[in-house]
Amino acid sequence: MIKCEILDTFYHLKLNLMLKKILTVTLVISFTISVFAQKRFDIFSASGNYNFIESENGNHSKNYETAFMSNLNLPIVLKDSSIWYTSLDYQYFAVNNTYSSVYPDFESFRLHGFIFKTGYIYRFNSKSFLQILFSPRYMGDFNASFSKSIQLGGLVMYERIKNENFTYRLGVMYNQEFFGTYIVPVFYLDWNLGNNFKINGLIPIYGKIYYQASQNFSSGLHFIGLTTTYRVNEPNFENYYIDRRSIDLSWFANTHVWDNFYLEGRLGYSLSKDYGLFEEDDKITLGLPLVNIGDDRTRQNSEFGSSMFVHLKLVYSIPVK
């Protein structure tokens, strides 16, 4: 009788221990999945870029584009769960292209951009939102008139969260560039394809197709396509503007470095990297992605060539529900 009671007690202890192990493993897996699925929001980023512009003699020390970019995002959640969103971007481009320009006095230039975005993100319900953003900019070389270096623009997008793995936005972006009106229909996609493969981007401006190996590491393809204009006022080139266009394709790797800081590196090729120089009054009828309507402008410099580039970016990112 005593032997049976001892065996019965041992059995229950063993069963309880097994149940505790199963519960512990389940909690660990659940916590891991929860953290792994957690989305993140980038508060601040700073990055540098170097392009090896092709030249006739292959001397890349004389022909290059260096760039520095930073971004600060400040969302404020309101009482109705809508958001007042504000962000500030700074862009700096230093270009030296000895063999490109037919005007030797304008082979090198420095461009600055301050892009301010602010507006309201209205919450219809837990899955539908409307974004209305106003975006004034300063785009110039610090030599041109300040008033002539200001641009006005905006963005309207409707957002729909289909489920935890699929979110999309449809909208249009407008900016009054120095060549005239520029309109970009945009489509945002955040899609978890399964097996840790994901697609994220605002098409046709930027996008990523990547593999999320873990919470701390991801890698894949990245592209960015931008059109921006800058007012310049240099000797012999007063009241001109530069039409900068780039299409960059790269392989990237993003890794967690410490706390909420992440480091991203890219190595790629600029399919198009160009700085067209035009007179102030030389404009187009309408600018659209990849095509200009009524573009009879007379370019004042030669076209730039495609080139390889390296990019390094530091991001401060926080988890969000």
As for how many domains the chain has, the answer is 1
Q: Is residue 153 part of a domain?
A: yes
Is the confidence at residue 13, as pLDDT, over 60? no
Query: What angle is formed at CA 191 by the lines to CA 188 and CA 192, rounded to 5 degrees?
Result: 160
Residue from 168, 180, 153, 130 nearest 280 by CA? 180
Is residue 165 included in any domain, yes or no?
A: yes
What residues make up the domain containing 65?
38-320
Q: What is the DSSP string of 217-240?
A: EEEEEEEEEEEEEEEEEETTEEEE
For residue 52, give Cα distances in angstroms to 27, 130, 143, 202, 309: 51, 41, 27, 27, 6
Question: Is residue 198 assigned to a domain?
Answer: yes
Residue 22 forms part of a structural domain: no
| 304 is a domain residue | yes
Is residue 60 within a helix (H) or strand (E), and if so which, with residue range? none
pLDDT tens for residues 188-215? 999 999 999 999 999 999 999 999 999 8
Reported pTM? 0.82
pLDDT digits (tens, 9 = 90+) for 211-268: 999 989 999 999 999 999 999 998 778 889 999 999 999 999 999 999 999 999 999 9
Query: What CATH code is carried by the domain that includes residue 251?
Result: 2.40.160
